[in-house]
Amino acid sequence: MPPEVRAVWQVARYLRERVEGDAALRDLWIGGEISNLTTASSGHQYFTLKDNGGALRCVFFRNNNMAHRKSMLNGASLIAHGQVSFYPERGDLQFIVDFVQAAGVGALQAEFERRRARFEAEGLFDPARKRQLPRFPRKIGVVTSAKGAAFHDIQTVLERRWPLAELMLQPAAVQGEEAAVDIADAIRSLAPHGQPQRWPDVMIVGRGGGSAEDLWAFNEEPVLRAIFGCPVPVVSAVGHETDTTLADLVADRRAPTPSAAAELVAPDRLEVARGVDSLLATNRMRVTRRIAVARQALDRGVSVMDRRLPDTRPLHRGVTARADRMKHATGRYVSEARESTASVAARLRTLSPVATLDRGYALVAHEDGSPLSSAQGTAPGELLGIRWRDGSVSARVEDAG
């Protein structure tokens, strides 16, 4: 095959493609010493990072270097994060720096700090978006290893404190290559978007203690994004009290251990029971007071009524006087009537035939009792009655007229 002459730009472009396409030259940390540091009027910084065996030209753009101005000094040893790039127009191979840390900081810590700065700037840790945990959760989701002690610890605490809640374990690998994606998937399948009826009320995401490397999955972007996007409040519980992960910073609440997370997500039933009792006692006190108030009002009403009743004593006196007068008047009437009755009776007596008999006369009557007032009214043989004052006899007519 005959040789071919290439244009410079073709080779330069090829170099850029090779350099930028190489995963080993992306997202890497390089340790070295700063030299030839200049800060352009644009704010971008240019320097050389070198050690005993080599040197790399570096650029640190303004928007990235602002937070690191104090560390950027000639002669300073540091580790810088960024990617290697090739600038075809100038033929320059350069390291585009986006984050630096002092040389004494370990790689893991440096990477932690870099990510923290990045996600903080993005608002993942914003305190304003932290949600309140439910007071009495009905379902508590747990994302952790099915094998580790973390779930057992959570279960033990909740069995004692708040067995009212159902525990939903979504197992996930919590360390190793797959862990970050597995944890993220577990969070999403435990609280799937658009299916709120399947969601727990709160979720615990975590694992028991381990080395910083063991806990590293909880600093990985997929986990942070899943927690950030989780539709229910998340409590992180990673490792021990002294371990801090980025998952802790994204979560709505951070618990130092899985057991502590269990205490955080649910109340203690004994305390709640005491609360119920005290509410009941308070209610009793209030209703007792209400009854006392009603009784007082009743007493007051009665005394007001008493005072407002009309005085009936003069009336009583009036009634008595009238009754007396009536009695008096009736008495007089009765005696008058008695007197006049007596005089009428006396007069009647003088007119009565009985009075005539008293004077010695006799009364002659037919047999049927009707008076015989004339001699003409009799016939011989007729039986007549003769009545005196002191008795009667029967007599027969002998000779009429």
Partner 1 sequence: MTPKDTSSGPQSELALEGHTFEALYARLEEVAQRLEAGDLTLEDSVRLYEEGMVLAEQCQSLLTDVEQRIEVLRQRANGD
Does residue 138 belong to the site contacting partner 1 (CB under 8 A)?
A: yes
Does residue 313 belong to the site contacting partner 1 (CB under 8 A)?
A: no
How far apart CA 149 and CA 143 sit, in angstroms, is 13
Edge-first strand order for the sheet with 391-396 is 363-365, 383-388, 391-396
Near partner 1 in 173-212, by CB under 8 A: 182, 185-186, 189-190
Per-residue contact track with partner 1, 289 to 308, x per CB under 8 A?
Answer: -xx--x--------------
Q: Which residues of 55-79 are buried (b: 16+ CB within 10 A; e: fewer)?
A: ebebbbeeebbeebeeebeeebebb
CB of 181 to partner 1, least distance (A): 9
169: closest CA among 184, 181, 152? 152
Does residue 324 belong to the site contacting partner 1 (CB under 8 A)?
A: no
Does residue 284 belong to the site contacting partner 1 (CB under 8 A)?
A: yes
CB of 219 to partner 1, least distance (A): 22
| Piece in contact with partner 1 (CB under 8 A), picked from 204-212, 287-295, 340-348, 356-364 | 287-295
- Determine what percent of the chain falls in helix, strand and coil, rounding each to the nearest 5: 45, 20, 30
Sorted by sequence, the CB contacts under 8 Å of residue 84 that are 6+ apart come out as 19, 22, 25, 26, 28, 56, 93, 94, 95, 96
- Residue in the block written with tokens 């410079």: 8
The SS3 assignment for 203 reads strand
CB of 279 to partner 1, least distance (A): 5
Does residue 388 belong to the site contacting partner 1 (CB under 8 A)?
A: no
CB of 143 to partner 1, least distance (A): 10
Number of residues that bind partner 1 (CB under 8 A): 39
How far apart CA 185 and CA 143 sit, in angstroms, is 10
Does residue 133 belong to the site contacting partner 1 (CB under 8 A)?
A: no
Does residue 155 belong to the site contacting partner 1 (CB under 8 A)?
A: yes
Which helix (H) or strand (E) segment is 121 a member of? helix 107-122
Among 14, 136, 333, 388, the residue binding partner 1 under the rule CB under 8 A is 136
Residues in contact with partner 1 by the rule CB under 8 A: 135-136, 138, 146, 149, 151-152, 155, 158-159, 163-171, 182, 185-186, 189-190, 269, 272-273, 276-277, 279-280, 282-284, 286-287, 290-291, 294
